[in-house]
Structure 1
């Protein structure tokens, strides 16, 4: 699993949360967490992967719904792409395999990264047979 985000988290809560959930995820699956400077650098880091682009206009899932969707991609290389404050280039949005909304609200990009990692952790615990409502 690869997560590529524009900019490293600067806000302390986000930085600590990203570290925490990165460690938790790695107990269940390999995780590549990559940071780039600009949105135009996201696409090359996702080469050869299914592209799941975080976008507030994307498809909304429940945790279990996203789990089921990702089960359908099991065995494939997947890259989750988190844009910066400016969002994603339109060309990247168009070539995405999925535009994923974490909420109908606009989330600050560091918070979106943290929410994504928390949900990926929950999905991995579901796959391992744990109830998803417990961290």
Structure 2
């Protein structure tokens, strides 16, 4: 699975940690990108499966997420992270998956960090790497 994580605006709070996970994920085919405006998320992810982060979305354990994403092996997947305003109803309808990272509402930069860590965990799980334990 080749994947793209797209977020609105560059993070300030957890920039170093997010970049560290981006570096670790590059060998697995994941790219991290940033856009200025929310509508650019959908333009940049055209033709890809779209995973929209939203607290109303589906909650997974890490193992469940790994199994779900395995079903998209060979496809291009974009994980979309909104700004502080979140996604609107029309945006949620355009998603192939609404993904909740927690039942709590997370600050968008924190959500990006949690997403990157979980994607790294999923990829290391697939690779049989001990990080997941």
> Which residue matches 1:113?
112
Kept after mapping to 2: 8 A contact 1:54/1:81: yes
Contact 2:59–2:101 (CA under 8 A) maintained in structure 1:
yes
CA distance in 2, matches of 1:91, 1:132: 37
Q: Is the 8 A contact 1:39 1:87 kept in 2?
A: no
Aligned length: 131
Aligned-pair RMSD on alpha carbons?
1.1
CA contact (8 A) 2:124 2:132 kept: no
Following TM superposition, the consecutive aligned residue runs of length 4 or more in structure 1 with deviations greater than 6 angstroms are none
CA distance in 1, matches of 2:19, 2:114: 12
Q: Kindly provide the CA deviation profile for residues 26-48 of structure 1, in whole angstroms up to 9, marking residues without a partner as x.
A: 23x12221111121111101101
Matches within 5 A, 1:36-55: 36-55=35-54
Distance apart, 1:132 and its partner CA = 4.8
Normalised by the length of structure 1, the TM-score is 0.93
List aligned pairs for 1:93-104, cutoff 5 A: 93-104=92-103
Q: Summarize the alignment of residues 1-135 of structure 1 with structure 2, pairs less than 5 Å apart.
A: 1-11=3-13, 14-27=14-27, 29-134=28-133
Provide the C-alpha distance between the structure 2 equivalents of 1:95 and 1:5, rounded to a whole number of angstroms.
16
Mark the runs of 5 or more structure 1 residues left unpaired by the alignment: none
Secondary structure of the structure 2 residue equivalent to 1:51: strand
The runs of 5 or more residues in structure 2 that have no matched partner are none
Deviation at 1:18, TM superposition (A): 0.7
